Chain A
Amino acid sequence: SQTIHQWPATLVQPVGSPLSLECTVEGTSNPNLYWYRQAAGRGLQLLFYSVGIGQISSEVPQNLSASRPQDRQFILSSKKLLLSDSGFYLCAWSSGSGYEQYFGPGTRLTVT
């Protein structure tokens, strides 16, 4: 069966520090991968998605970037964190366009 992992579960980082959040999927190949930010009362905002290695689509201009160095690995990064980057970050995968997405446990990021 397929599983999705995210780490770390929680992270506290100072403003201006770099960020790297990792997401890996097991039990499937060539998944679509997604990064979301979830804010209370605002639902899920899609940040990036990827349909293959090295292929990244950005949904909103921001201080973050994403990379997909391997088929089942998706990384969310920042060179210098802002206070506004605080939030709950979710990774998800799907087997193709239009299909349901399956979510990881999320990372709670606090920028101080």
Chain B
Amino acid sequence: AQSVSQHNHHVILSEAASLELGCNYSYGGTVNLFWYVQYPGQHLQLLLKYFSGDPLVKGIKGFEAEFIKSKFSFNLRKPSVQWSDTAEYFCAVNGGATNKLIFGTGTLLAVQP
């Protein structure tokens, strides 16, 4: 069965610090990968996605993620976080073109001004 692991459950950073959130998945075949973000009081929204091609994916608000197939990873990065990046971040995987997204347990990011 597919699964997704997010190793950091709660991250606290100061503004301008760099961010990297880990995401590992278990599925041996072709995968589609996603990062979602949920800002306080708002809908869950798509941050970025990887289907194929360049393994370094650019998303909204300066976020990027790198797909490393050999490591089954899709880590999220941002060079310099802002207070407005405070949110919960979810990694998700869809393997084998099924109808289902499997979500990680989420990482709560708090950015201190």
Contacts and interface: CB of A to CB of B under 8 A. Distances in A.
Contacts of B45: 103
B99 A100 contact: no
B90 A46 contact: no
A57 B99 CA distance: 10
B43 interface: yes
Interface residues of A, number: 21
Given A102-B46, A103-B43, A49 B99 contact: yes
Contacts of B44: 44, 90, 103
A99 B102 CA distance: 12
B97 interface: yes
A27 interface: no
Interface string B71-101: 0000000000000000000100010011111
A61 interface: no
Interface in B32-71: 32, 34, 36, 43-46, 49, 51
A27 to B, nearest CB: 16
Contacts of B36: 103
Given A51-B99, A103-B43, A43 B90 contact: yes
B103 A43 contact: yes
A87 interface: no
Nearest to A98: B97
Interface string A83-108: 00000001000000111111111100
Contact of B99 (A32, A44, A105, A106): A32
Interface of A: 32, 41-44, 46, 49, 51, 57, 59, 90, 97-106
